[in-house]
Amino acid sequence: MIKVLIVEDEKAISNLIRLSLSKEGYVCTCAFDGLTAVDLLESNIYDLILLDVMLPHVDGFELIEYIRPLEIPVIFITAKDSVLDRVKGLRLGAEDYIVKPFEIIELLARIDVVMRRYQKCDMVLQIDGLKIDTRSMQVWRDGREINLTKTEYEMLLLFARNPRRAMYRETIYERVWGGEYPFGSKVVDLHVQRMRKKVGWEQILKAVNKVGYRLEVPE
């Protein structure tokens, strides 16, 4: 499940993108201004952001400064077919850009390339002495393989890909199990405790009061 945040204030374009991406199996959320996008990014995890440049309140160029530390790939959507805008977007860290009006088929192709590039970079993650191979779904510490359940593995990967970020129990549940977090459930806590013991993260995967958990590793 690839989650996409569409930040675009023109409802017709936003709808068109959402419908087309949903048909391809992407899970989409729409924000119609920059501030809403910031709110959504604070409590949700996305795999890709489609970002319009001209937005009310906070524009796309300001927003990408905020997004960069989250390490989520961004594709700029720009109305201005100006070389300067495109260069600025890429310099600010966007993976790609697309100029309005565009054909959906082109957008899909660009998304495909960006997602493949990201997954490729991510094939082997090294974090706090752990080695995670995302192709074989194997995990090692100091050369010794650790056996994890599928749930534990997905949880580990979620934290490894979002270090230093407070993760809500609701978000963890949604990403690992799918669907709405059952109110008052202890399922996330139980699995986090078991997983962090197995991989040796007792000291660094910390509970965040009233929120969930955060992986504390140096930058």
- Per-residue tokens: 54: 């001209």
Residue whose CB is less far from Ca ion, 29 or 134: 29
Residue with the closest Cβ to Ca ion?
Answer: 54
Whole-angstrom Cα distance, residue 205 to residue 13?
Answer: 41
Shortest separation between residue 54's beta carbon and Ca ion, angstroms:
4
52 near Ca ion (CB under 5 A):
yes
The residue range among 3-11, 36-44, 123-131, 205-213 that interacts with Ca ion, by the rule CB under 5 A, is: 3-11
Q: Does 204 bind Ca ion (CB under 5 A)?
A: no
Q: 31 or 160: whose CB is closer to Ca ion?
A: 31
Can you tell me the distance from the alpha carbon of 203 to that of 215, in angstroms, rounded to the nearest whole number?
9
Residue 10: CB atoms within 10 A of its CB come to 15
Q: Is there binding between residue 170 and Ca ion (CB under 5 A)? A: no
51 vs 205, beta carbon nearer Ca ion: 51
Q: Contact between 85 and Ca ion (CB under 5 A)?
A: no
CB of 61 to Ca ion, least distance (A): 12
Q: Assess 54 for contact with Ca ion (CB under 5 A).
A: yes
Tell whether residue 130 is a contact of Ca ion (CB under 5 A). no
Q: Which is nearer to Ca ion, 9 or 122 (CB)?
A: 9
The minimum distance between CB 60 and Ca ion, in angstroms, equals: 8
Per CB under 5 A, the segment of 13-21, 51-59, 111-119, 188-196 that binds Ca ion is 51-59
| No. of helices (H) and no. of strands (E), the chain | 8, 12
**Residue 53 Cβ vs Ca ion, minimum distance, rounded to whole Å:** 7
Residues 113-123: b if buried by 16+ CB within 10 A, e if exposed: ebbeebeeeee
- Residues pairing with 30 in the sheet: 6
Q: Which of 142, 161, 158, 149 is nearest to 200 (CA)?
A: 142
Phi, psi of 150 (to 5 degrees): -60, -40
Considering the rule CB under 5 A, would residue 9 count as an interface residue with Ca ion?
yes
CA proximity to 68, closest of 49, 40, 43 = 49
Stretch that binds Ca ion, among 4-12, 13-21, 115-123, 124-132 (CB under 5 A): 4-12
Q: Which of 132, 140, 158 is nearest to 212 (CA)?
A: 158
Binding site for Ca ion (CB under 5 A): 9, 52, 54
